[in-house]
Amino acid sequence: MQSILLFLRQRRSALKWLFLGSAAASVIFDCFAPRHSTHFWGDTVNGFWALFAFVGCIGMIALFKGVYHVWLMKEPNYYD
- Note the pLDDT tens digit of each residue in 24-75: 888 888 888 887 787 888 788 888 888 888 899 889 999 999 888 888 877 8
- pLDDT reported for residue 60: 95
Residue 80 has pLDDT above 80, yes or no: no
What angle is formed at CA 66 by the lines to CA 70 and CA 53, rounded to 5 degrees?
Answer: 155
Q: Is residue 19 part of a domain?
A: yes
This prediction's pTM? 0.60
Q: Is residue 56 part of a domain?
A: yes
Q: How far apart are CA 36 and CA 55, in angstroms?
A: 25
Q: Which domain holds residue 39?
A: 2-72
What angle is formed at CA 59 by the lines to CA 23 and CA 54, rounded to 5 degrees?
Answer: 15
Domains in the chain: how many in total?
1
